[in-house]
Every structure is written in structure tokens, then in C-alpha cells.
């Protein structure tokens, strides 16, 4: 059994925020695979279900982002889970919008939700980093993550969430590469193989209209010449003929 945790802030006010992309991922997995209705538990909202043979618990902490670890730690203790069973989905400023990366362990890089989980459970858990892009300056980060996705973000966001839902079963089995491939099938533009250009094709009608080379009359053949007649003069006569 695995515990998938999506990070975000509770309440309709924050539902469309960039910071809530982790919640969005949990909702899409639950809807796509027919999980049980969400219910309140562990200071958050949870649901359970199966994808193939893999049992999953999905959790959306309701403690606000900077206290997410309280909810995560409580759920892990109840299910007697180790850190190897935990996968956290969160927004990532350092990835371009729509990009996804898996990471095992490491620091929290200033993310308040990860910082809280570190404090309550430890750092050695898997993360699914969901790229939302960066506003360009650190002073704009707070307003940026707490604002809603723009209409122009709809297409890549939809593709990313659908890829996560399709690949969730692979991730639950520990197949990170298979999960990433499923996501890439939705988020990576398909490359088309250029058609090789051959010689131009000529239609019969074009061929009929095409000027044909002029026909020339055959060149005359050299006619055989008669062999010269034999000289029957005597040597004396030939000598005399030279002085005429």
C-alpha cells in the first residue's frame, strides 16, 4: 500500500491556485480510477482505492501548506507506513509549466509544505515535482503561487493531470520510468516524420502536353566509290605524258 499526498491549501478560495496543483493531481487520480468518496480524517481529506493490484491511499492535508507534515505524519502512523511508502506531489517553481520530475529524498528547497513534512516524517520520501514556472523575481513568488492558473495554462495543465492519472498505477508499483513515460505521452508533442520528396510525378495529360524533341531526317550515308581504273600506259608513254 502506498500513500500519495497532494499539497495545497484547503477551501474554495485557493482551489484554482498554482500552489494547489498537488490537490488537483489527487482529485484527478481519484476520479479516473473510481476511488471511494473523500472523507475527513488525519487533519485532511482522504480516499482509498485500487489501481490494478495496488492499493492506494490519497491524502489532501487540510492544515494549510506550512503545516502539511502534521496530517502526513498522522496518516503514516495510522497505516504503519515507512517513508518508502510515501509519495508527495507538489508545485515546483524551478520547472517549466507542464514539466514533471521524480525525485527521491533531498532537501525542501524552501517549499513550506515539504519543510513541514521533513519535520514530522523525515526527508527520505519520493516527490513528484510539478512544474508551474517562475514569475521571474523572488519578491513575486508568494503572489504568483497563490494566484489562479491563467486561461492560457489550461491545455498543458489538463494534459499533465491526465498523464498523472494514467501513470498512477505504475508509480504505485514503484515503476518511476513507466509513470514518467505515461505522463510524457500526454505532455510531449508528437513528432511527425517528414515525407521524403521523390522526383516530380507527371500525369498522362501533362506528358501529352509536354513538347517532344523534333525528329530529324536520317543523315545520308556515304556512297561507295568505284575503284580507280588501272593505268595501262607503258613507262615511256607515262614519261612523255608528263612533258606535254
Alpha-carbon gap, residue 175 to 141, rounded angstroms: 33
Residue 33 has a CB neighbour count (10 Å cut-off) of 17
CATH code for the structural domain at 2-187: 3.40.50.1470
| 228 has pLDDT over 70 | no
- By DSSP bridging, strand 2-6 and strand 86-92 are parallel
| pLDDT score, position 54 | 92
Alpha-carbon gap, residue 177 to 182, rounded angstroms: 9
- Catalytic residue numbers, as ranges: 19
| 229 has pLDDT over 80 | no
pLDDT band with cut points at 50, 70 and 90 for residue 231: low
Least confident segment among 103-112, 169-178, 202-211: 202-211
Gyration radius of the chain's alpha carbons: 42
| 133 has pLDDT over 60 | yes
pTM over 0.85: no
Alpha-carbon gap, residue 30 to 50, rounded angstroms: 10
Q: Which of 96, 75, 102 is nearest to 2 (CA)?
A: 75
| pLDDT score, position 203 | 57
Q: Which of 76, 93, 94 is nearest to 85 (CA)?
A: 76
pLDDT band with cut points at 50, 70 and 90 for residue 227: low
Query: Which of 216 and 158 is assigned the larger pLDDT?
Result: 158
Alpha-carbon gap, residue 35 to 89, rounded angstroms: 18
Amino acid at each position: 500500500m502506498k500513500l500519495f499526498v497532494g499539497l495545497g491549501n484547503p477551501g474554495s478560495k485557493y482551489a484554482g491556485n498554482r500552489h494547489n496543483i498537488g490537490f488537483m493531481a489527487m482529485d484527478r487520480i481519484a476520479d479516473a480510477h473510481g476511488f471511494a468518496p473523500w472523507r475527513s480524517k488525519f487533519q485532511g481529506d482522504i480516499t482509498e482505492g485500487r489501481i490494478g493490484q495496488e492499493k492506494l491511499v490519497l491524502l489532501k492535508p487540510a492544515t494549510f501548506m506550512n503545516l502539511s507534515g502534521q496530517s502526513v505524519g498522522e496518516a503514516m502512523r495510522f497505516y504503519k507506513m515507512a517513508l518508502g511508502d510515501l509519495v508527495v506531489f507538489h508545485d515546483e517553481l524551478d520547472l517549466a509549466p507542464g514539466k514533471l520530475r521524480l525525485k527521491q529524498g533531498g532537501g525542501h528547497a524552501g517549499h513550506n509544505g515539504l519543510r513541514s513534512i521533513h519535520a514530522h516524517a523525515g526527508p527520505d520520501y519520493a516527490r513528484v515535482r510539478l512544474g508551474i514556472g517562475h514569475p521571474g523575481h523572488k519578491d513575486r513568488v508568494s503572489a504568483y503561487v497563490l494566484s489562479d492558473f491563467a486561461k492560457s495554462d489550461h491545455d498543458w495543465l489538463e494534459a499533465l493531470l491526465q498523464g498523472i492519472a494514467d501513470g498512477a498505477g505504475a508509480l504505485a508499483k514503484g515503476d518511476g520510468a513507466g509513470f514518467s513515460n505515461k505522463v510524457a505521452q500526454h505532455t510531449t508533442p508528437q513528432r511527425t516524420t517528414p515525407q521524403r520528396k521523390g522526383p516530380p510525378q507527371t500525369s498522362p495529360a501533362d506528358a501529352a502536353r509536354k513538347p517532344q524533341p523534333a525528329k530529324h531526317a536520317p543523315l545520308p550515308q556515304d556512297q561507295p566509290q568505284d575503284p580507280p581504273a588501272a593505268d595501262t600506259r607503258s613507262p615511256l608513254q607515262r614519261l612523255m605524258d608528263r612533258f606535254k
